[in-house]
Amino acid sequence: MNPLDAILTVLISAAPIAELRGGIPFALARGGSPAAAFCLAIFGNLTVVPILFLGLRSGERLLRRTTFGRRLVDSVFARVRRRASAIDRYGALGLFLLVAIPLPGTGAWTGAIAASFFGIPPRRASIPIVLGVLAAGIVVLLASLGVIRVVTIL
C-alpha cells in the first residue's frame, strides 16, 4: 500500500458514515496487509473521538444559532436517541455495544455523541469507545478477509 492509500484509509476511517467499516475494506482492496489495514483504520477512527469530546458542546451551541443548524443538531440527536437506548439501560457496557456493532449508525462518532448526550464524562466514555472500536475493527477485518460471513437479507 502506498502512502496516499494509507492516508486515505485514515481519512475514510475518520469520516462519520464510513468509519472503519469503510477504511478496512478500502485498505485491503488497495493491497494493504491485514495488520496495516486494521492499525490505520483504528487510528483514523479513534482520532475523531477526542475532537468530538472537545467540540460537541461548543459546536452544538454554535449550530443552534441558525435554523439549519438547529435542525441538523436535532436530527443527529434523534438518531443517537434511537440507537442509544442500550446506553441508558446498561451504561458503559451499552456504550461499548453501540460502538462495537459494525452497522450503519453505530461507531465512534455515534458513541461520542451519545456519551455527550447522556452526560457521560469523556474520561468514563473513552474506554468503552476505544474497546468498541477495537471490537468493531476485528469484526470488520474478519468479515473482509472472509473468515466470517456477513448475513445479508435478499
Domain-wise residue ranges, the chain: 3-144
The answer for residues whose C-beta is within 8 angstroms of residue 41's C-beta and 6 or more apart is 9, 10, 12, 13, 20, 23, 24, 27, 137, 140
Q: What is the model's pLDDT at position 113?
A: 87
Q: What is the model's pLDDT at position 153?
A: 57
pLDDT tens, residue by residue, 38-50: 999 999 999 999 9
Q: What is the model's pLDDT at position 77?
A: 79
Instruction: Kindly tell me the number of DSSP H helices and DSSP E strands found in the chain.
Output: 8, 0
pTM: 0.84
Percent of the chain scored above 70 by pLDDT?
95
How far is 79 from 73, CA to CA, in rounded Å?
Answer: 10
| Sign of the dihedral defined by the CA atoms of residues 148, 107, 77, 84, in that order | positive
Q: Which three cell numbers stand for residue 42?
A: 483504528
- Ranges of residues in the chain whose predicted pLDDT is under 70: 83, 150-154
Phi-psi region of 31 (alpha: psi -120 to 50; beta: other; left: phi over 0): left
Q: What is the model's pLDDT at position 105?
A: 81
Q: What is the model's pLDDT at position 18?
A: 94
Q: What is the model's pLDDT at position 58?
A: 81
